[in-house]
Amino acid sequence: MRSSDSDLSLRVWDPFVRVFHWSLVACVILNFFVVEDGETLHQIVGYTASALVVARLVWGFVGSEHARFANFFPTPARLRTHLAAIRAGGHDFQPGHNPVGALMMLALMALVLALGLTGLLQTTDAFWGEEWLEEIHEALAASLIALAGIHAAAAIVMGRLERVNLIGAMITGVKRRTREQSGAR
């Protein structure tokens, strides 16, 4: 949808997606760097992160156009087309998520859910004090932070390459492109 004729701005991320994103980032950073001992606050923040992801999965079916999985699910065909365009040195501007970004997004959300599950298990009688479970939880957390770092770097690099402020779009909801950039399509 065009929100302006002069600059072809695209309204892509609805308020739910934006609030979801930055709340999830806050929860993950809090639990990894601030309250990482498994205490009550850690558990509340961790379950909040999992609940955010569950809500996002539902939103992927009922949300606005670019929030829906049908719009960006990284099928092999979409991945092939995207990678071929990049290999050919061209741009493959996507109003919503590009398929590689979508793969990353799914991995990040899966890791948050896995952290919720392994965290929950650690509090049960059956698994309480099991060191291997703590180690899995820690490894999942480390992987999440590493992937999130790559994800944030990719958002910056792709944004520069395509000259679209992707991070700004996740804040305002709007991707701004000039008529020139879009080939006046």
CB–CB of 61/69 below 8 Å?
yes
What is the CB-side half-sphere exposure of residue 185 using CA atoms within 13 A? 7
Residues near ligand HEM, by CB under 6 A? 17, 20-21, 24-25, 27-28, 31-32, 36, 38, 42-43, 46-47, 49, 56, 67, 97, 101, 105, 108-109, 112, 115-116, 119-120, 122-123, 134, 137-138, 141, 144, 148, 151-152, 155, 166-167, 169-170
Q: How far is the CB of 71 from ligand HEM (least distance, A)?
A: 10
Phi, psi of 73 (to 5 degrees): -55, 130
Phi, psi of 102 (to 5 degrees): -65, -40
Q: How far is the CB of 69 from ligand HEM (least distance, A)?
A: 9
Nearer to ligand HEM, 7 or 172 (CB): 172
- Please give the single-letter amino acid code of residue 113: L
What is the CB-side half-sphere exposure of residue 140 using CA atoms within 13 A? 22
Q: How far is the CB of 160 from ligand HEM (least distance, A)?
A: 12
Nearer to ligand HEM, 7 or 117 (CB): 117
